[in-house]
Amino acid sequence: MTEPIVSLRHVVKRYVRGRQAVEVLQGLDLDIAPGEFVALMGPSGSGKTTLLNLIGGLDQPTSGELTVAGQRLERLGSGALSRWRARHVGFVFQFYNLMPMLTAQRNVELPLLLTSLPAAKRRANALAALTLVGIADRANHKPNELSGGQAQRVAIARALVADPTLLVCDEPTGDLDRKSADEVLHLLQELNRDFGKTIIMVTHDPKAAEFAGRRLHMDKGALLAAESAA
């Protein structure tokens, strides 16, 4: 049996606000297999973005066991967690987070600056990632010269360029019109189906969630029933 790429056991996340402790995640158990495309759904405040941040190594649980790509994340210090994150996770956010003064190619190269790759290899890898997402013809354009859908493709190329173990996507189509959103979602689906990328996506959009192979619903920090794609 294949080991899960993400495994949570009794994971709790608690924040302290003033004198009050707020339990955002309530003892979650979850397994995600390699190569799954999972959508996390739920109302605002349900804990889905907190869960995504834990899986992506942007935060750590208050208690419980969190294993991602074979590593117990709750055991890592901040430096080791940062290095693990750079190797294993590609992030895609709602608002792209592109550097406005850099071209698409230079934006995609940014994660590679943390590696020992020479400049020519970084450029070649960035162009390969832009080609993969179908936007190599915009390599020399800056973000303000791109449509929303094109900018998100650049962001996805940046997330892919270091060949991460998994992609974590936080409302990746939330700032796009329906046509552009569907194009981005088809791209994510292709990356999952054709390249075996594990994708975990937070979304409020039921239509976006239909592109995933499994839909997980959260409410008040708990996981509810899961749905598989038809």
Over the stretch 202-211, which tens digit does the pLDDT of each residue have?
998 899 999 9
Over 60: is that where the pLDDT of 21 sits?
Answer: yes
Residue 185 and residue 187: Cα distance in Å, rounded? 5
Look at residue 160 and tell me if it is in a domain: yes
Q: What is the pLDDT of residue 168?
A: 94
Q: What CA dihedral angle connects 179, 102, 158 and 82, to 10 degrees?
A: -130
Q: What share of the chain is helix, strand, coil (3-state, %, to 5)?
A: 40, 30, 35
Q: What is the mean pLDDT of the chain?
A: 90
Residue 72 and residue 25: Cα distance in Å, rounded? 18
Look at residue 2 and tell me if it is in a domain: no
Report the half-sphere exposure of 93 (CA within 13 A, side-chain side): 6
Question: Which domain covers residue 129, as residue numbers?
Answer: 35-60+77-228
Q: Is 145 helix (H, G, I), strand (E, B) or coil?
A: helix
| Structural domain total, the chain | 1
Taken as a whole, the chain contains a residue count of 230
Burial of 196 (0-12, 13-18, 19+ CB in 10 A): exposed
Look at residue 87 and tell me if it is in a domain: yes
Q: How distant is the alpha carbon of residue 225 from its chain centre?
A: 22
Look at residue 116 and tell me if it is in a domain: yes
Over the stretch 161-217, which tens digit does the pLDDT of each residue have?
888 999 999 998 888 888 988 989 999 999 999 989 999 999 988 999 999 999 999
Q: Which spans in the chain are helix H? A: 48-55, 78-88, 104-109, 119-132, 148-160, 178-195, 206-209
Q: What is the pLDDT of residue 116?
A: 80
Look at residue 17 and tell me if it is in a domain: no
Over 80: is that where the pLDDT of 230 sits?
Answer: no
Q: What is the pLDDT of residue 228?
A: 60
CATH of the domain at 209: 3.40.50.300
- Contact between residue 40 and residue 222 where contact means Cβ atoms under 8 Å apart: no
**Backbone φ, ψ for residue 114 (5° rounding):** -85, -5
Confidence of residue 225 (pLDDT cuts 50, 70, 90): low
Look at residue 28 and tell me if it is in a domain: no
**Backbone φ, ψ for residue 27 (5° rounding):** 65, 50
Over 80: is that where the pLDDT of 1 sits?
Answer: no
Q: What is the pLDDT of residue 2?
A: 79
Q: Is the dihedral of CA 97, 205, 44, 170 positive or negative?
A: negative
What value does the mean pLDDT take over residues 100-104?
94
Over 70: is that where the pLDDT of 115 sits?
Answer: yes
Look at residue 69 and tell me if it is in a domain: no
